[in-house]
Amino acid sequence: MASAVVRVAGRRLSQQSASGAPVLLRQMFEPKSCTYTYLLGDRESREAVLIDPVLETAHRDAQLIKELGLKLLYAVNTHCHADHITGTGVLRSLLPGCQSVISRLSGAQADLHIGEGDSIRFGRFALETRASPGHTPGCVTFVLNDQSMAFTGDALLIRGCGRTDFQQGCAKTLYHSVHEKIFTLPGNCLIYPAHDYHGLTVSTVEEERTLNPRLTLSCEEFIKVMDNLNLPKPQQIDIAVPANMRCGVQTPPS
C-alpha cells in the first residue's frame, strides 16, 4: 500500500477525478477543539482517505467508514496538532490496513512520511501535497487533483490563519506559504480548514484572497498582527504534542 504515495517532482497531477463521479466527501466536527475531520472516498474502488482525525471521535469516523462500505487506506494529518490528540492510532487498530501519514518535516513518527509534490492516491483520485509551513514547520495543504478543493489544515482558516507563536512558528513563512501555495490555486477552489470557531464550514480561494482580514495585509503588517495576538496557551498542548509526535504509531488508549 505504500506504493500509493508517489512523488511527482512538483508536476501538477492529472485530472483523474474529471473522468467519473465526483469524490465522496464528508465533513465532520469535533466540538472541544473545533476540529474538522474530512473523509474522501472513491465511489468505484471504495478506497478512502481521512484527514485530521481526532482521538475522541475516531470510533465515530470508523463507524461511518464501515457504513459507507469504504476501505480506509490512510489517516492523514496536516501537521502535528497542539490542540488535540490525533485519532490515527485508534483508527489503525479499528480498521486494519489503515496507515498513518504526516509530513517528514513534522519530525513525528508515522507509517508513511510525505513532502512537497508527493501524492496520496485513493482509487481514481489523488491528493497533491503542498508544503505550507509557518504555523508549524511540518504543515502541509492537500489539493484534490482537479484542484476543486484544498484541505489547508491550520495554515489558512476561514477569514483567519493559524497562530505562529509556538512550535517553531514563523509569521513571515506562513504569509509566503499561503500566498504562494494556496492563493495560486483557482479562485473557485473550495477551502476546507482544520478548524473553525464561528460555525463556518467552507470558503474559496477567491474569498480568502480578497476578504481574509489578515492575509490581505502586506507581509510586514501581517507579521505585526501575528506578533501581537496575545492568545492563551492551547489547553491540550502539553499532552497533545508529545502524543502526536508518535502520530498514529502510539498505542491506542484502552
C-alpha cell read off for 30 = 469535533
CB neighbours (10 Å) of residue 21? 10
Q: Which residues are annotated as a binding site?
A: 79, 135, 154
- In angstroms, rounded to a whole number, what is the distance separating the alpha carbons of residues 35 and 154? 10
C-alpha cell read off for 205 = 480561494
* DSSP conformation letters of 19-75: GSSPPEEEEEEETTTTEEEEEEE-TTT-EEEEES-BGGGHHHHHHHHHHTT-EEEEE
User: What region, left, alpha or beta, does residue 192 occupy, with left being phi > 0 and alpha being psi -120 to 50 degrees?
Assistant: beta
Question: Do residues 51 and 80 make contact, with C-beta atoms less than 8 angstroms apart?
Answer: no
Q: Which residues are annotated as a binding site for Fe cation?
A: 79, 135, 154
